[in-house]
Amino acid sequence: MTHKSENPNATPGETKGGAYAGKHIHLIGVGGSGMRALGGVLLDRGACVTGSDMASSDALDRLEAQGATIHISQRGENIPDNCDIVVYSAAIDEQNPELIEARARKLQVLKYAQMLGRLMSEKIGLAITGTHGKSTTSAMVSYVLSQAGVDPSYIIGANVEQLGGPCGVGHGDHFVAEACEFDRSFLHLNPKYAAILNIEEDHLDCYRDLDAIIEAFRAFAAGIQPGGVLVCNGEDRNALEAVRDADCTVETFGMTEGCTWCGTNVTTDRGKVTMTITKDDQPFGQVTVPLPGLHNAYNSLGAIAILHHAGLGAEEILRNLETFEGVKRRMTVKHSDDEVVVVDDFAHHPTEIQATLRALVNAHKPRRVICIFQPHQHSRTRFLLKDFAQSFALADEVIVPDIYFVRDSQQEKDYVSSKDLVAQIRLRGGMAIYLKTFEMIVEYLKGIFEPGDLVVTMGAGNVWQVADEFVQWINDKQ
């Protein structure tokens, strides 16, 4: 199959070269998943990359091994003398010393999303957005394109082992990007093809309310290139409202009659969905979604629609999709034996928690579910406190450490604590306990776990360390 470039600015076959070859680019907050991926892409494009963050990690070590210079501190002197561009993540405060230094030196300063938009503009852009499922769906699209020999470039906000990491620079014409709505950053992207997976309340530290969130997605839809296509969850009222007046072609996906891309004859086996897919009521094919959970069936429908518009045939899409193994920290099994299954997951929003717990229960059939949930951001916890408390219905016990502190002010930190979430879970009849540190949680797990248990760590912070330490203890005692 030939994939002809539709972008006059595309530069097929070019990686180590182009606009950024030899440029000195400094990344403030390089430890974030998106920023790390951006650093990897810029290195592959021939840029000289430096970066800074407040903590080291294995991922940063890998970026340094690729050729980046990483500073574990944030000081003005970290910015090299011959710097051309400074890029900062959405988590960086305006009073960051490096950001202040860059502006004082009148350097070119860009937000992460602005830099991402520049890279996408040189290719045929494929953007995946929504409150949930962005990383998994972006990875599905990138993986299937890669398997089909299209050789895309991509930036995903999570590690994908089958792709060798969260980013890649390909010789092909396509650029896949996870498009985040936080701080309206996705408005810097102008893709040819895009998917809106769902829209819910989130990031209420930068949005007034749900109406403001829908309006931001409406603005994103308005940025689709002329002749482009936007695929949208046809069962999500908020998403449909956001695309109602879009100028581009809009297609819907879902499992109800009337959707452009429709999943029918749905069956499940240990959480994995098999469905027949139609497009405009015409047969497209059958697929067994490789990841458990109905939410992943919806993610797959969105991915399939985007892949179709990227030029792939039905058989090629469905065959390769069935071999996709998922994204790191999305229902990742860390240990499994006759006694206990240990899983780690990124879920940090009430809807994600419910969907993930349901998928895990259906997939593993545990005797009991023990969930260690690390809330992410004080503001999110406060705004969605009651929703969080209701989301653990399928967990037999919930263990909550301190809230992962990021982006919020000290004042916001004073408004809510993990003890408030524990109290709300208990008020609804759930069993919950607050344990301040990871060390305390691991010791507690050692004393309560029983054969047949499923232990799952959840959250967008560093709660995965609990799973790793617990698994290490299991292995050591065997």
With a pLDDT cut of 70, the percent of the chain lying above it is 96
pLDDT of residue 9: 35
Residues 77 and 137 in one domain: no
Q: For residue 440, give the CATH number of its domain.
A: 3.90.190.20
Give the count of domains, the chain. 3
Residues 285 and 405 in one domain: no
Candidate from 14-28, 231-245, 379-393, 423-437 with smallest mean pLDDT: 14-28
Per residue in 206-232, pLDDT (tens digit) is 899 999 999 999 999 999 999 999 999
Which domain does 259 fall in, by range?
123-321
Asked if the structure places residue 97 within a domain, the reply is yes
Residues 294 and 440 in one domain: no
Residues 139 and 90 in one domain: no
pLDDT of residue 413: 83
Per residue in 310-357, pLDDT (tens digit) is 999 999 999 999 999 999 989 999 999 988 999 999 999 999 999 999
pLDDT of residue 7: 36
Instruction: Centre a 10 Å sphere on the Cβ of residue 419 and count the other Cβ atoms it contains.
Output: 13
pTM score, whole prediction: 0.85
User: Average pLDDT for residues 457-469, to the nearest whole number?
Assistant: 95
Alpha-carbon span 49 to 42, nearest angstrom: 7
Residues 175 and 269 in one domain: yes
Residues 61 and 163 in one domain: no
Taking alpha carbons only, the member of 43, 42, 41, 39 closest to residue 52 is 39
Residues 383 and 439 in one domain: yes
Tokens of 363: 């997939």
Residues 129 and 169 in one domain: yes
Per residue in 355-369, pLDDT (tens digit) is 999 999 999 999 999
Asked if the structure places residue 222 within a domain, the reply is yes
Residues 314 and 382 in one domain: no
pLDDT of residue 10: 37
Confidence band of 57 (pLDDT split at 50, 70, 90): confident
Asked if the structure places residue 116 within a domain, the reply is no
Asked if the structure places residue 5 within a domain, the reply is no
pLDDT of residue 83: 96
Residues 427 and 464 in one domain: yes
Please check the confidence at residue 253 and state whether its pLDDT lies above 50: yes
Asked if the structure places residue 92 within a domain, the reply is yes
Confidence band of 58 (pLDDT split at 50, 70, 90): confident
Residues 355 and 466 in one domain: yes
Residues 187 and 133 in one domain: yes
Q: Which of 272, 298, 321 is the last residue of a domain?
A: 321
